Structure 1
């Protein structure tokens, strides 16, 4: 995709009008009557589109760019921006005419050619698709995308062998291999070439044993061409790496019911959607969010019911801090999909993020009432209660998950850790201490557990030597974690070792400068070493950072009258001498 310079006459005019735009509403007209809202100005739409784009509000960006194209319909740079924004927003149908315009200006425009090829695949116009793919600008991602899609079109032209040969001829980075083998195997399987399909799918599954689609594709082939037990063994091996995946749980249930499993992919359209999904997911993991959105939107346009593309798109929106869009995607997951329940859980989490706690809670409670053993919903509900400081409900909910554990393992440490936090905040220290010790037993040297248990002991004047050792160890394991460094500084403060407290708390503030608690702690430490002006500055800083409601009066009192005298916790060695 070409880089835009915005050196057109329109861009120059817009740059000259920025000052005016900043002093008057974009949609106002000087001769208008009060309350009149007229046509948006060019400058206003341009600035609004730029702002929306920078904030990744693609819906708004598309709206403003449409207005700009009406004002300057011959501006190819605006067309390109609008085209890409429409794709990111999932407005593929509206983006297609713009793609046709762009390839007239730039014949090798990669994304425009990709969109036109995708449309051709959807229409079963396989030669047209290959022509568009062959004309696009290439690069590592472009080469792989074009080759895999072209190979699937060869299946549509009843020439699967040539499609696989096309894949095998592709040269590139080592990470190409996994994509090449699974697509070659899927094409051969869809074409009915059992023997060769099995070889390629087995190779892909062994190369990527933790990749769901590779394992699922091979096990499905085994169910039809080997035997049920071989397929179940393949699924069982994956289960150890990623337990209870709904798609595989459903597949295993069908096998145990005596059914065989159809191929993962059966048509060129499904195969092309799979290519776009898998590459989009990989791009999203590597930080290429915008291109990942384009690929995932095209995948869903080809196959709206793709079992994973929708969840991956929603997950990407979550990663980009756009919970409203994630919710809209989760709502579209088909009710019959094995992933619907997962979508419902994630939708509740996102509802809470947009300030709809009651809706989120009702959503999760309904899921639990429907299935009391739904641990995913219970864990999400426990997290919801914890986030809203409903600690009794939190501890009770995590307890329902823990009660289902037959033999707690390392992976379960978070359940005991979070229940321990909720019990501690609910003033049930004996239960909290037991949970935190269990978490540490399951995961020795886990820094968050070491920190929380050690800090709690210091705060309660218990086991001071052991507590300090635990906190120091947590800091050594997570030296750049401001909260853990703060714990060490505050532990020194509680012990009356104020110079050491200042040193650690200053470092904690450097790591987490916008945290009110850490700034408040540093203010206390400054006061104790006689740096009272700096103490007042830190307290004022903490006050202005929106601390918790219960902390604000304490901070304001210190700003008015300073820090009251307090007796430090006994030093560890003194405590030991006293028994």
Structure 2
């Protein structure tokens, strides 16, 4: 824990800071956010001088959304000269929320000096200027070594500020560039721009941003058509919150940045507590870190009449599923998928939930419906792979094979497609030479993937090349030591190669994670060895 008691040999009161801290760490490790934050709060109150408590309380305060705990911890760390660099971002948000433009400006200077987030400075300063009554849109200096980072965010903020100034035509190209950066994930941003445009009387320009017939935008289109539009301009704190939220979601695309991303998006909700986009993105990142219950609570902060409600409900589906409420998630996913004009994403979400519930026929039907949403006929290979997988697992192999072969035609160099089609045939001992060739190609394209290495090794084993199979399967087991299938395959190959002791060890490793028929088969192999009736499929 890296936390020493106040004095050597001192007796510890059960309610001491140390015990509260220990309880907090245990709860933290179990993913119990509520219990963890309560105990961090108690530990910090009882012993605010302990830097380790303050450090952990700071992180937990941010990740759990406890603004007071995060700020108190940040103040203690700052006083000790040990505040994390992202703490400056937290303090900037607080200064902007207080309308303390001078304090915010000084903190931006500090952020620039610290270096980590200096590329944000032009955008933050533009919002400070707006708070002071000046229009000074953000400009990224091309020669700045971090110009590319700042350029990713600048158009959104320049567009919003230009709209607020009343120059709609000048904002239009900025809006287009900002939406292009966000790609398919730009739905909420479309609504945000439309709200500001409609608020300035640019009704036609606002409606052009919102696709006709798409239920994600139906409420916004209806309200704009009836003249029910927001009147308030974006405050500097809200603009800053948008900046943090955008950066958070970009960071979270890399698993290594997920934790920092969650901290930043929580800071966004502190700066703009009522901002729907901040809650939507917070829910997404919480779900991604397996805090489904907390994510569901955050997603519900977006009211049913909000223009952003459809996007919040999509995150709620994923959160409920992650939290174990499969029926609740499925019910909501069905309702969203049944709405007229539902986008393919809704059908895919439903299909994946149905597949998790082992309703493979329903899943395949949902994936086919998603494909129908591509009017140009350019169906993504991913949807074909989803459908083929559902059909194959639903024991409709003849249909599955046709769909998977179609996917392979569309994406002849996609390892996931090649591997699935090849392995499914190896399992059935069909076209084994052609199937092995598919898997070899997949392995060459993605040599470090343990799943593909397993497919390759098993295909080599099935075709009688045990000597080649063993290195492939051993590499797969190193890459995915908790995979029951990989370890069983390795055990079967080891036994066939005469390495009986090692084979039983591999089967033992597989049995730790196996269930049902697989567990029974492994138990029999450990007792009696490999026989034809106990061979892996």
Q: Quote the residue 1:36 is aligned against.
A: none
- Partners of 1:265 and 1:168 lie apart in 2 by 27
1:222 touches 1:231 (CA, 8 Å); kept in 2? no
Q: Does 1:304 align with 2:255?
A: no
Structure ID, larger Rg: 1
2:337 touches 2:346 (CA, 8 Å); kept in 1? yes
Q: Quote the residue 2:160 is aligned against.
A: 186
- Partners of 2:286 and 2:55 lie apart in 1 by 23
- Partners of 1:211 and 1:398 lie apart in 2 by 20
1:42-441 paired onto structure 2 within 5 Å: 42-52=17-27, 59-73=34-48, 78-79=53-54, 81-93=56-68, 95-96=70-71, 114-134=89-109, 138-145=113-120, 147-161=122-136, 173-174=146-147, 175-192=149-166, 212=186, 232=208, 246=216, 266-285=234-253, 287-371=256-340, 373=342, 375-411=344-380, 413-441=381-409
With over 3 angstroms needed to count, the CA separation of the structure-2 counterparts of 1:158 and 1:481, relative to structure 1, is same
- Partners of 1:401 and 1:107 lie apart in 2 by 51
1:442-470, CA deviations, whole angstroms, 9 ceiling, x for partnerless residues?
22232222222222323333323322211
- Partners of 1:118 and 1:210 lie apart in 2 by 28
- Of 535, 548, 557, 2:524 maps to 557
Shift of residue 284, structure 1, vs aligned partner? 3.7
Q: Quote the residue 2:5 is aligned against.
A: 13
- Partners of 1:82 and 1:127 lie apart in 2 by 28
With over 3 angstroms needed to count, the CA separation of the structure-2 counterparts of 1:503 and 1:218, relative to structure 1, is same
1:136-172, CA deviations, whole angstroms, 9 ceiling, x for partnerless residues?
67333443445533431221222224x658x779955
Q: Quote the residue 1:534 is aligned against.
A: 502
1:270-314, CA deviations, whole angstroms, 9 ceiling, x for partnerless residues?
323223323333444464445433432232233334342222222
Q: Quote the residue 1:37 is aligned against.
A: none
Extract unaligned runs of 5+ from structure 1.
28-39, 569-579
- Partners of 2:395 and 2:5 lie apart in 1 by 65
1:120 touches 1:126 (CA, 8 Å); kept in 2? yes
1:344-389, CA deviations, whole angstroms, 9 ceiling, x for partnerless residues?
2332233222222222222323334455845433322221222233
1:29-40 paired onto structure 2 within 5 Å: 40=15
1:10-52, CA deviations, whole angstroms, 9 ceiling, x for partnerless residues?
x54258569x88xxxx84xxxxxxxxxxxx2332123334445
**SS where residue 550 of structure 1 aligns?**
helix
- Partners of 2:358 and 2:309 lie apart in 1 by 29
- Partners of 2:73 and 2:420 lie apart in 1 by 56
Shift of residue 551, structure 1, vs aligned partner? 1.0
Q: Quote the residue 2:425 is aligned against.
A: 457
User: Normalising by the residue count of structure 2, what TM-score does the alignment of the two structures yield?
Assistant: 0.81
With over 3 angstroms needed to count, the CA separation of the structure-2 counterparts of 1:194 and 1:65, relative to structure 1, is same
- Partners of 1:101 and 1:525 lie apart in 2 by 58
Moved more, 428-437 or 303-312: 303-312
2:237 touches 2:271 (CA, 8 Å); kept in 1? yes
Q: Quote the residue 1:491 is aligned against.
A: 459
With over 3 angstroms needed to count, the CA separation of the structure-2 counterparts of 1:277 and 1:534, relative to structure 1, is closer
Aligned length: 531
- Partners of 1:372 and 1:467 lie apart in 2 by 39
What is the CA RMSD across the aligned residues, in angstroms? 4.3
2:457 touches 2:472 (CA, 8 Å); kept in 1? yes
Extract unaligned runs of 5+ from structure 2.
none
1:107 touches 1:135 (CA, 8 Å); kept in 2? no
2:524 touches 2:534 (CA, 8 Å); kept in 1? no
Shift of residue 555, structure 1, vs aligned partner? 1.4
- Partners of 1:194 and 1:207 lie apart in 2 by 20
- Partners of 2:83 and 2:484 lie apart in 1 by 53
Moved more, 523-532 or 292-301: 292-301
2:160 touches 2:193 (CA, 8 Å); kept in 1? no
Q: Quote the residue 1:35 is aligned against.
A: none
- Partners of 2:522 and 2:142 lie apart in 1 by 69
1:140 touches 1:172 (CA, 8 Å); kept in 2? no
1:502 touches 1:526 (CA, 8 Å); kept in 2? yes
1:391 touches 1:425 (CA, 8 Å); kept in 2? yes
Q: Does 1:516 align with 2:508?
A: no
User: Normalising by the residue count of structure 1, what TM-score does the alignment of the two structures yield?
Assistant: 0.76
1:311 touches 1:329 (CA, 8 Å); kept in 2? yes
- Partners of 1:397 and 1:206 lie apart in 2 by 28
- Partners of 1:64 and 1:301 lie apart in 2 by 21
- Partners of 1:77 and 1:198 lie apart in 2 by 49
